[in-house]
Amino acid sequence: MLHTGKLDRRIVIEAPARTKGAAGGHTATWSAVGSPLFAAVRNLSGSERRLTKQGGQVAEERTEFTVHYREGITAEMRVVYRGRFYNIRHVNNFKEADRYLILTCDTGLNNG
């Protein structure tokens, strides 16, 4: 059974894009895909891991965002929620019914 709760949080889905720089090179940027979505947010876990062999740590968290079905959302995209970036790791079309998508995401070093 899917417990969507209230889809009462606003998120933005962004896709990576490459733009041409002034010197002719390419720059990686992110651009919004469609309009903001209403989502249910469920925090799954949090942890810290070593950043490098030399030391340092980075905090990570896993979060699920449940949204109404929208075609074209992939794991190459990211979620922006409350000013934070979340890497989309898995897109689950719940029961293949085209009603809800469950986006399993995590945070990390690369700002989504």
Of the two residues 26 and 78, the one the predictor is more confident about is 78
What value does the mean pLDDT take over residues 57-69?
A: 84
Asked if residue 59 belongs to a domain, the reply is yes
Domain that holds residue 28: 22-106
The total domain count for the chain is 1
At residue 81, the pLDDT reads 97
**Amino acid, single-letter form, for residue 59:** A
C-alpha neighbours within 13 Å on the C-beta side of residue 33: 16
Asked if residue 36 belongs to a domain, the reply is yes
Asked if residue 1 belongs to a domain, the reply is no
Asked if residue 86 belongs to a domain, the reply is yes
At residue 20, the pLDDT reads 78
Asked if residue 29 belongs to a domain, the reply is yes
At 53, the pLDDT band (50, 70, 90 cuts) reads low
26-49: pLDDT as tens digits? 888 899 999 999 999 999 975 555
Average pLDDT, whole number, for the chain?
Answer: 85
